[in-house]
Chain A
């Protein structure tokens, strides 16, 4: 989608290694989110941000951390990847609740 980019698109990593996923936006939206998508669970919120250096936990935040030092970048870090973190990760941005979300194309992460 225009204005939001996720990198990398695909990644395979080994159990126990750190991994960082990047979400970059050019829309200057205040709100940014990280979700994971797993079959049968839909999308579940990991962490979100409502401004630079303002972040909070979602429903499945254990094992994940985030940082937002600039409006345009929201980083998701798996400190020590586990097989249960194999998933598709989506970043989303929002200007306000009235506009819903715009999603990135996703990052497929496999932990072996």
Chain B
């Protein structure tokens, strides 16, 4: 079965610093990979997705993520964090063999220090 691990429950970074949120998945075939962001009291918004091709994908709000098959990872990065990036971030994995269902990680809460 698919599983997704986000090792960091909380991360605190200073405004203007770089950010990397980790995501590891467990699945044998090529997965579909997503990052979502959730602001307090809101639904989830899609940041970016990977299906195939270039392993470095660009998303909205200046985020990018890199798929590394050898490490079963799909880490989210941003070169310079803004205070408005404070939110909870979820990695999600899908696979053709599992239809159109996604499995989500437990989330990482990002705090931004001014």
Contact = CB atoms under 8 A, between A and B. Distances in A.
A44 B103 CA distance: 7
Contact of A97 (B9, B96, B106, B107): B96
B30 to A, nearest CB: 12
A45 B103 CA distance: 8
A41 B100 contact: no
B44 A103 contact: yes
Query: Number of contact residues on B: which range applies?
Result: 20 to 34
Interface residues of A, number: 26
A40 B42 CA distance: 17
Contacts of B96: 97
A90 interface: yes
Interface string A94-112: 1011101111111000000
A58 interface: yes
A74 interface: no
A70 B10 CA distance: 41
Contacts of A92: 44
Interface of B: 4, 6, 9, 32, 34, 36, 42-46, 49, 51, 90, 92, 94, 96, 99-107
Interface of A: 1, 31, 33, 35, 40-45, 48, 50, 58, 90, 92, 94, 96-98, 100-106
